[in-house]
Each structure stands twice: as structure tokens, then as C-alpha cells.
Amino acid sequence: MTEKEKMLRGEYYSSDDPTLVHLRENAQNLVEQYNQPGGGDRGQLLDMLFGYHVEGLIIRPPFFCDYGINIKVGRNFYANFNCVLLDVAKITIGDDVLLGPNVSLVTASHPIDPEKRRQRLEYGKPITIGNNVWIGADVTVNPGVTIGENAVIGSGSVVVKDIPANTVAVGNPCKPIRTIEPE
């Protein structure tokens, strides 16, 4: 099994693998172009980075990711300044999702065992965000988390566990504080 296959399966893998290094360098080149003042055709750069076209996609620079190819966003996705999508595992985002400034979706993790860390092994767990979610400024979503549709995550939260649909959740660790009812 290749290191890329291990990475996508959530198993320990070596990020020093030449194929993974090449993929990260390719993504880094596209991201650097995207983040330049004037940025060229930013839509085309995102199409190349993600490997597909998204209707209504807006990501305000600067933007950062590891690979790009492991990110799937729905229609009308908006990410404010300093969005970080560390996509060693799949990041799946539904339609009409809003991210405030300085939001990080982090699928990458490292072993607790110090010997495995010295070997530079890592692994990832996917992040899934449902439709119509709003994530406030300075939020970090950790590996393996699912956020249900229509949820609102308050600014400064650290999301370490799944958040149910139709809830407002805040804090560190982030916890639901109320249900969202139709107005």
C-alpha cells in the first residue's frame, strides 16, 4: 500500500514520501499564486487546486491547505481571511457554509507515542460539515469531527467532538448550548 493510500485510510503514514511531497509542493505553488495581490484568476486556481469547479465559491486570501485534492466544498461556500484547511484526510463541506476569519479545519494528527512521532509518522481523520453551517471567527475544528446541518459554532470555539444539526455550540471544548428553532 502506498503512503498516500495509508494517509487517505487514516493509517500511520510518512509525510516524507516523494509522492506526497510532490502533491504538497504542487498545492503550495497554487496557493502562493492565489494569495498574491491581484491573484490572477483565483477561480481557476481553486479549480486546479481542488480538481473541480464550485458554483459560488469565495475564499478570501490568504488561504492555506496541504493538498487541495482532499477538499470537497458545496455551492456558495464562503471562507473569510486566513482559512486553513489541513486536508491529509477528506474535508467535506456542504452547501451554503460560511467560515469566519481565522478558521482552521485540521484533519492531521500525530501519535501520542513519542517513538512514532520521532519517526515522523502521522495520520488523519476526516471532517464533515453539513449544509447551512456558520462557523465564527477563530474556530478550530479537530480531526474526525462532524458538524450537522444548520449548526452555528461560536467564535473562538475548539470543536473536538461531533456537533448535532440545528444547534448553537460554543466554547473550548465546544458544546451545544441551545437548539435552533425556526423563527
For each of the domains in the chain, give its residue range(s) and CATH number, in order of start: 3-177 (2.160.10.10)
Catalytic residues: 110
Total-model pTM: 0.95
* Contacts for 91 with CB less than 8 Å, ≥ 6 apart: 70, 71, 72, 85, 105, 107, 126, 127
On the question of pLDDT at 174 being above 70, the answer is yes
pLDDT of 130 above 70: yes
Say if CB 141 and CB 159 are below 8 A apart.
Answer: yes
pLDDT in tens, 73-118: 999 999 999 999 999 999 999 999 999 999 999 999 999 999 999 9
pLDDT band at 182 (very low <50, low <70, confident <90, very high): confident
Cα angle value 59/65/68 (rounded, 5°):
85
44 Cβ partners below 8 Å, 6+ apart?
A: none
Nearest alpha carbon to residue 73 among 62, 82, 87: 87
Is residue 126 within 8 A of residue 108, CB to CB? The reply is: no
Predicted pLDDT at 75? 97
Q: Burial code of 47-73, b = ≥16 C-beta within 10 A, e = fewer? A: ebbbeeebeebebebebbbbbbbbbbb
Please report which confidence band the pLDDT of residue 164 belongs to, taking 50, 70 and 90 as the band edges.
very high
User: pLDDT of 54-78, one tens digit each?
Assistant: 999 999 999 999 999 999 999 999 9
Q: How many CB atoms lie within 10 A of CB 98?
A: 17
Q: What is the mean pLDDT of residues 29-40?
A: 89
Q: 39 falls in which pLDDT band (50, 70, 90)?
A: low
Specify the DSSP class assigned to residue 152: E
